[in-house]
Structure 1
Amino acid sequence: MAVNSELELLAARHIQNMSEAQSLEPHWGYLDRSLPCTNDAGSCAYLDQVYGSHDLGMLYSGILWATIGGILFLWAIGRRIWPSTQTDSIARGSNDNDKSSLRRLGRTIATYSRHYLLPDAVRPIFGRTTRLQVLILVALAGYLLIWSFIGIAYNIWITPVKNSPGLYNTRSSLGPWSDRIGILAYALTPLSVLLGSRESILSLLTGVPYQSFNFLHRWLGYIIFIQGSLHTIAWTVIEVRLYQPQPKTALEWICELYIVWGVVAMILLLLLFVLSTPWGIRLTGYEFFRKAHYVLAMVYIGACWGHWKQLNCFLIPSLVIWFLDRGVRLIRTGLMHYQYLPDGSMGFRPAHASLTHFLDPEHGDAVRLDLTHPQDAWKIGQHFYLCFTECSVWQSHPFTPLNLPRVQDGVVSHSYILRAKKGETKKLADLAFHKLSKSTTATTPLILTGPYGDSITDNLTLDANVLCVAGGTGIAYVLPLILSLVQQPATKDRKIQLVWAIRKKEDMRWVEKEIDTIQKATGSHGVVVNIYVTREAGSRNPSVHSEKKVDDVTVKETGANPTGGCCSAANNTRSAASIEVKRIGGEEGFDRHPDLHKVVHGFAENTVRGPTRVYASGPGSMISDVRTIVASCSSGGKVWRGNDRFDVSLTCDDRLEW
């Protein structure tokens, strides 16, 4: 009965004589067509175009997915056939690599690519996004644009209306074109879900961290919204203006169940679009956006099913991917916390972190968490999602451990630093302040999920010079890298520098133990540490300096020009037992940031040999500046001529690109 009702519905829309059909011709993703066509010549020609265009649309969707699958297959195979840069360098020696023409060609191409594709692209529209990501988006949009229009014979057919003498329907290629973009919108839905997954299949295949797909996920959603809007507008014009008699035809059309579901799907898609815009997220808050996005997306897929279930070949994979993502996430969290309970049994047990509170009423308090947990070590650069159960069990936030991942006696230490702004971090800071006001020590239970992301040291060769740039709590991203380098055997002529911008000198206390470890290695490894204080007034006389002791770390304070700049020769020859702190804030106490252009260029130009690897984490404005600067430092022509100092690459913490 359901099939017959659907056939009758289609007959009403396309004026097919189902009672006179001698056979039914199946069409994937559409209802069967009755043959032979016994309508007028114009209607039959129109139906030929409708079904032919639909079949091509399904074919083009298949080609689209075959292209995506082919790219992913070749990418995954390539990652396993060719060894990583670091492994190759260690196995054969960096000098042999430098003599390899093939390797030099690869470095040259990569350097040219960074020079042109690394900076931000059209920031007012795309935000702080690299030109490479925008180029990929443009290529995808152009690909879809081609498939939206080809294979359709554009024409107009004037056909009589049954039982209404003197009335005519205007049938055109607007209908087949509208169906085509509807098919493509359905076909893109699984890809959108894939791009937005945290337990990402794409990351497993490509090695690209899941957060790097956020930009494409968001803009692919915008494309689907545009496609859905055009599909809706086109069919509204057809049913309300081009079909007769009116308003009877329009009223009957809008009341049909599959149209009602289509309207619901479009409303949900509109909500998804509005809430995912930057101003929508700021207005409602990120946590509301995230929860609403999950719910609305699944209800939207259900509404699409109700609108045109013949295309469930695209909807079923979307649902499967979504539930797999959530299921794997829960399983990983459960396995991480499945351990011995105090009574000796096995069960779910949260980790307990000790709290250290740093009061800062002006800029927001900071909290450090230290804990141990039985697990395998993560890779440097990976992050965990932390759920603070005393604040809320419904929210989790990503944080990067600032310590080295080491297993000792079956447990791994974690250390995190966070700045309290609002929401969960503000609740945690208040909780820490309240507990520590009553006791000298305080702990809080939390649930970890992860690790996520990829190692940031995979492409770090033994001869690479390392520059780490951090702003505020972004120090957590680069500290483990510096700590790992100073605990390895020193490499001759290798430069290692840390540039950290903080608002107040007291912020150094967040990571005083780690800074002390780096300080002790400055002599053996030549590590240069420059700390810029951006909210405290600088000295009136730049030549005046003093040494102070801050929690076992000896620092040398100097007044400085607000532009900062990289270390001078005098700075490089200072005592290995000191770390220079430059106060570059204005006398009124407002921010003045270090001149990163001088820092990065000065570092790259003063290296002796080997490429330069820049690691950055901090505010979005800092990341954008570093991208532009690294791109300007990169010179493919000089790299091809053997000057590896101009092979400058950037690895940054892009978890917040959404």
Structure 2
Amino acid sequence: MMDTKLLLPRVHIQNHSDGGTSVPHWGYADRVVPCTNDAGSCAYLDVVYNAHDVGMYYTGIIWATIGGILIVWAVGRHFARSQPSGVQLPVDAGEGVKESRSAFERLHRAITAYARQYLLPDAARPIFGRVSRTQVLTLVVLTGYLTIFSFAGIVYAKWVTPVKKMPGVYNTRTSLGPWADRVGVIAYALTPLSVMLSSRESILSLVTGLPYQSFNFLHRWLGYIIFAQSGLHTIGWCVVELRLYQPQPSVGKEFIVQPYIIWGAVAMILLTLLLVLSTPWGIRATGYEFFRKAHYVLAMIYIGACWGHWHQLEAFLLPGLLVWFIDRGIRLVRTALLHYNFLPSGHMGFRAASTNITFFTDEINGDVVRLDFDHPHDAWDVGQHFYLMFPESSIWQSHPFTPLSSPVYGADSQRHSYIFRAKKGETRKIAALSARRTAHMASHTESHEGLMPDAKLSVVLTGPYGERTLQSLVPNSNILCIAGGTGITYVLPVLLSLASQPQSPNRHMSLVWVVRRRSDIDWVAPELAILKRKCPNLRTRIHIYVTRASEQVQHGHDSSVPAISEKRTANECEKEIEPSSNSTSSSASISSALSLHGVSKADLGLNHYQARPDLSKIVGEFVEGSVSGGTDVFASGPGEMISDLRRIVASVNKGGEVWKGVERWDVGLTCDDRLEW
């Protein structure tokens, strides 16, 4: 009886006391048959219940479509990986090398190249931000699909029916009510999908191979769709109950005090808060960490309020809660397993890693911190990242960082190296703590031995997460890595890992790194030296661009900046940086900084340019100069650089040439745009 009372305002034209039979309708109130109302009211009830039943079928179709897409995707990935590689066939010098591949494989690669050409560049940036057209196309298809199901299967009509015992007073019944119910049902049905798109331990990533962060755009915009549907559902029923049903205001007053309506209002308020706090303005005003924690709490309370509003659709709400709690539980378990090691006492237990700190002062652009430590666990895959939590700063915050070091498969312990620039929030706190630790250790240096003890910092790891960049590489693909600032941590492990493997004689590899100061090279000096030793082909293919050398000299913050002398090159804006003959202190400063990692300045001998690189020219010349195979571009840096690379890489893809077998025009882009420099 309680359920009937709670549902009474929506089905008040049915008389449950007339002794009729209650016919259940899944997800809705039972219907009393036969209908004893007037003809118009009975016809209206037919439309209401039929529209609801059809809508429930549609929600099943929506989820069946999602499941079907995932199954096809998973099978396609498996089939694509099982295809054998082609055999190279020499052709005319102007065409490079063609590949002898099956028609299916050539068609697949040609379609992929065509898709990149048109779908890789950024979409309308003022509306969607820095996302590719592929993401926006997916959103458009999803929105169109949901729009069709929001309107289909509803009989649109109007019925004017008399109010019992009130001669001359009439209700206006329209299909607005059934339509408002339909969009509300779809909003409920999309709730688990929204939670899945936001999960770090993502089943979608397991099936598709896409990193969890690639679903953030759809999660955000699906939230906007749910907000719009919920708002239309609320407005629709407010119009029905507060305007079309008579007499007013008595019907409206009875409607607004019903418990399920109160819960609906609470859910709508919470959803509005979720929307406002997730906007760029809301995140800037409250801070990212507040947004993240508030988002979790408000989302869970919102689902609870939806349950109170219409618990008959709990089948859509319970999975959302379960997915969220499973995600959090797996995170805790993975963290515990990573840190379940031997304690100093000899017993097993939870133990945080202890990292060495190297601190790079930069008052203009923000200090940079390098962390190095060894930790016993299995190897991760190149391209993946860890979430790092620093207990000495806060146990409530963790941030994603990509290891600069390469994993060693089969080893008992893995070397972790990270670099990050302190901007604000937690990274600023960690940098300040690192600076204090470093200064404290320096003050206790044993001057008679000249030793510098390492500053220490505790860190707790969770992961690894993200894409596995090397799994999909074709053995003869050419590799172009482009990084800005601390984005070097994403691309350098790719080259370090490939340099340790047998190389195809035709493979070309190159690194382009853009930094603000010459001394920024010190961040990864040991890795660059290793790279040069392991892969001779890279000795003339590591290009470092220093963009603000003049700013350093002007502000006097970097005594290690060498003098700049111009060299005439094809690109007149490029100026090679050469050490000044009278900069003894500069050389000493550089050597001292690099000695922290056991590398001398003479080991590097790299090409330096003072200018921002012409990425279009760099990518074009690299692709033109390849002998065989396609090109994979790995990039990490500021949003503007990633946007430019999407446009540039799209422009060099030529599906027609790939279909003919000339694979140099099959150019892929894998980027990590979480970092800024």
Tell me the TM-score normalized by structure 1: 0.91
- Match for residue 120 of structure 2? 118
1:199 aligns with 2:188: no
Aligned with 2:493 (options 472, 480, 495): 480
Contact kept? 2:636, 2:675, Cα under 8 Å: no
Aligned with 1:66 (options 52, 64, 85): 64
Contact kept? 2:483, 2:636, Cα under 8 Å: yes
Residue 171 of structure 1 aligns to a residue in which SS?
A: strand
Change (3 A) 1:536 1:466: same
Alignment identity in percent? Answer: 57
Q: Deviations over 1:541-587 (max 9, x none)?
A: 334856546434658xxxxxxxxxxxxxxxxxxxx973101112xxx
Residue 567 of structure 2 aligns to a residue in which SS?
A: coil
- Match for residue 443 of structure 1? 456
Change (3 A) 1:240 1:8: closer
Change (3 A) 1:522 1:208: closer
1:621 and 1:242 map into 2 onto residues whose CA distance is 52
Residue 81 of structure 2 aligns to a residue in which SS?
A: coil
- Match for residue 402 of structure 2? 400
Residue 462 of structure 1 aligns to a residue in which SS?
A: coil
Deviation at 1:252, TM superposition (A): 1.3
Deviation at 1:332, TM superposition (A): 0.8
Change (3 A) 1:11 1:634: closer
Residue 545 of structure 2 aligns to a residue in which SS?
A: strand
Deviation at 1:299, TM superposition (A): 0.4
Deviation at 1:6, TM superposition (A): 3.7
Deviation at 1:655, TM superposition (A): 4.6
2:506 and 2:652 map into 1 onto residues whose CA distance is 20
Contact kept? 1:152, 1:173, Cα under 8 Å: yes
Q: Deviations over 1:404-454 (max 9, x none)?
A: 101575111100000000111111111111011111421111110000012
- Match for residue 568 of structure 1? none
Tell me the TM-score normalized by structure 2: 0.89
Aligned with 1:640 (options 659, 668, 676): 659
RMSD: 1.9
Aligned with 2:32 (options 30, 34, 44): 34
Q: Deviations over 1:289-319 (max 9, x none)?
A: 1111101110000000000001111001111
- Match for residue 558 of structure 2? none
- Match for residue 629 of structure 2? 610
- Match for residue 5 of structure 1? 5
Where do residues 394-543 of structure 1 align in structure 2 (5 Å cutoff)?
Answer: 394-406=396-408, 410-439=412-441, 440=452, 441-524=454-537, 528-537=541-550, 539=564, 541-543=566-568
Deviation at 1:643, TM superposition (A): 1.7
Change (3 A) 1:283 1:327: same
1:546 and 1:290 map into 2 onto residues whose CA distance is 44
Residue 461 of structure 2 aligns to a residue in which SS?
A: strand
Compare 236-245 and 28-37 and name the one that shifted more: 236-245
Alignment coverage as a number of residue pairs = 623
- Match for residue 315 of structure 2? 313
Contact kept? 2:658, 2:666, Cα under 8 Å: yes
Aligned with 1:328 (options 321, 327, 330): 330
Residue 161 of structure 2 aligns to a residue in which SS?
A: strand
Where do residues 38-57 of structure 1 align in structure 2 (5 Å cutoff)?
Answer: 38-57=36-55
Deviation at 1:112, TM superposition (A): 0.3
Where do residues 103-142 of structure 1 align in structure 2 (5 Å cutoff)?
Answer: 103-142=105-144
Compare 536-545 and 261-270 and name the one that shifted more: 536-545
1:505 and 1:655 map into 2 onto residues whose CA distance is 24
2:507 and 2:358 map into 1 onto residues whose CA distance is 36
Compare 532-541 and 634-643 and name the one that shifted more: 532-541
Contact kept? 1:515, 1:553, Cα under 8 Å: no
Residue 546 of structure 2 aligns to a residue in which SS?
A: strand
1:598 aligns with 2:617: yes
Contact kept? 2:176, 2:236, Cα under 8 Å: yes
Residue 34 of structure 1 aligns to a residue in which SS?
A: strand
2:380 and 2:540 map into 1 onto residues whose CA distance is 25
1:75 and 1:628 map into 2 onto residues whose CA distance is 26
Contact kept? 1:495, 1:527, Cα under 8 Å: no
Contact kept? 1:495, 1:526, Cα under 8 Å: no
Q: Which amino acid aligns with 2:72?
A: L
Aligned with 2:610 (options 548, 558, 583): 583
- Match for residue 565 of structure 1? none
Q: Structure 1 regions of 5+ residues with no counterpart?
A: 556-575, 585-592
2:466 and 2:87 map into 1 onto residues whose CA distance is 28
- Match for residue 231 of structure 2? 229
Change (3 A) 1:387 1:600: same
Where do residues 89-238 of structure 1 align in structure 2 (5 Å cutoff)?
Answer: 89=85, 98-238=100-240
Deviation at 1:46, TM superposition (A): 0.6
1:654 and 1:252 map into 2 onto residues whose CA distance is 53
- Match for residue 561 of structure 1? none
Q: Which amino acid aligns with 1:126?
A: F
- Match for residue 642 of structure 2? 623
- Match for residue 584 of structure 2? none
Deviation at 1:168, TM superposition (A): 0.8
Deviation at 1:101, TM superposition (A): 2.4
- Match for residue 365 of structure 2? 363
1:341 and 1:299 map into 2 onto residues whose CA distance is 40
Change (3 A) 1:442 1:615: same
Deviation at 1:639, TM superposition (A): 1.4
Deviation at 1:606, TM superposition (A): 1.4
1:421 and 1:525 map into 2 onto residues whose CA distance is 33
Deviation at 1:97, TM superposition (A): 5.8
Deviation at 1:485, TM superposition (A): 1.8
Q: Deviations over 1:45-74 (max 9, x none)?
A: 111111010001101000000111111112
Change (3 A) 1:527 1:54: farther
2:178 and 2:157 map into 1 onto residues whose CA distance is 11
- Match for residue 589 of structure 1? none
Contact kept? 1:529, 1:580, Cα under 8 Å: yes
Residue 647 of structure 2 aligns to a residue in which SS?
A: helix
- Match for residue 582 of structure 2? none
1:624 and 1:188 map into 2 onto residues whose CA distance is 31
Deviation at 1:459, TM superposition (A): 2.1
Contact kept? 1:383, 1:451, Cα under 8 Å: yes
Contact kept? 1:518, 1:527, Cα under 8 Å: no
Q: Which amino acid aligns with 2:512?
A: V
Residue 383 of structure 2 aligns to a residue in which SS?
A: coil
2:55 and 2:498 map into 1 onto residues whose CA distance is 54
Deviation at 1:5, TM superposition (A): 2.6
Deviation at 1:11, TM superposition (A): 3.9
Deviation at 1:612, TM superposition (A): 1.0
Residue 19 of structure 1 aligns to a residue in which SS?
A: coil
2:537 and 2:324 map into 1 onto residues whose CA distance is 50
Contact kept? 1:519, 1:579, Cα under 8 Å: no
Q: Deviations over 1:322-372 (max 9, x none)?
A: 111111111111111111111122211111111110000110000000011
Contact kept? 1:500, 1:532, Cα under 8 Å: yes
Q: Deviations over 1:13-51 (max 9, x none)?
A: xx1111113211110000100111101111111111110
Change (3 A) 1:554 1:75: same
Contact kept? 2:73, 2:208, Cα under 8 Å: yes
2:460 and 2:511 map into 1 onto residues whose CA distance is 32
Residue 347 of structure 1 aligns to a residue in which SS?
A: strand
Contact kept? 1:503, 1:534, Cα under 8 Å: yes
Change (3 A) 1:102 1:330: same
Change (3 A) 1:343 1:363: same
Q: Deviations over 1:485-532 (max 9, x none)?
A: 222223213211100000101110000100111222453556610000
1:469 and 1:376 map into 2 onto residues whose CA distance is 28
